[in-house]
Amino acid sequence: MYSIKNSNPFITSLCLILLIALIFSLPIDTLFSTDYFSEFQIEYFVLTLKMLLLFIIGFIGIKKVDLLSLSGISRTDKWSFKLLNAIPIYLFIVGILSFIGNDISQVHGSNVLLLLTACLMVGFAEEFIFRGLLLPLFIKKYQGHKKGVFLSIFFSALFFGLSHLINLSVNDNIPQVLAQVIFATFMGIFFATVLLKTNKLVPIAITHGLINFFFLIGTLPAINNNVTIVPTTQSISDQIAGVIPSILIFSPLLIVGIIISKRIDREVTLQKLPKQNTTKVVKL
């Protein structure tokens, strides 16, 4: 019988990405009528419901794996190095600056609340699946390797990034989707290292959700974005040039994540594994 606790994390990662793709293909939007809800509201109602389902799956998976300390949801572990959670605040500022000067007088508070709820649900779903569930599984697999902690950080972040390839089903701008894969991987490396240093997953999930929220405020109905409409037929070079800034904006998270990863105490991390799982170190 299949047991996620003893599963190969690579296979589990692929299965989870396929599951995410399946859930996102569900026609939940047909449950809502445009007679009562705007397209914006339907989009984010549906996103909230799908992400709630993924969060539940991630939470159940964490419980099944039973590595709560590594997952960052153990009540006995102290929340350490709290200031690390404040590093992404610069992204909040970037997001706010992107819509400053726009007319927000007609924005409905209910839409703001809906957007915030959806974004937080995205943060919790993705963090519980990729950091809370997959990261401990990779650490368990690579516990015998000298660089096992970094490999675990990298692979859990890589699969997080690759999960964004699902967006190709709704976005034919390939460079844009590949850029999402890249900067999501950057975020994944940063959040994984912060989890191992701080011991707490929930603050990371909230931070993740708020990053999405501040970058999406400009999508709220009634905001006068004053954005020039980009031609639908862009050359590949123009598409690539258009996504470079987003990669650069998130690159500090990669740099900081790598720096933090070098300061993670391997032995302290492995102590969070059950005693019977410890093995001899294998040098790469």
User: Which residue type, as a one-letter code, is found at position 61?
Assistant: G
CA–CA distance, 198 with 204 (Å, rounded to integer): 9
User: What pLDDT score does 2 carry?
Assistant: 64
pLDDT class of 226 with cuts at 50, 70, 90: very low
Per-residue pLDDT tens over the stretch 133-174:
999 999 999 999 999 999 999 999 999 999 999 999 999 899
Strands (E), 4-114: none
Count how many Cα atoms sit within 13 Å of the Cα of residue 3 in the half-sphere of its side chain.
Answer: 5
| DSSP 8-state secondary structure symbol assigned to residue 277 | G
CA–CA distance, 134 with 146 (Å, rounded to integer): 19
Does residue 69 surpass a pLDDT of 50? yes
- SS3 of 19, please? helix
- First and final C-alpha spacing in the chain: 33
Contact 197, 83 (CB under 8 A): no
Per-residue pLDDT tens over the stretch 25-61:
999 999 999 889 999 999 999 999 999 999 999 999 9
Q: Cβ of 240: how many Cβ atoms within 10 Å?
A: 15
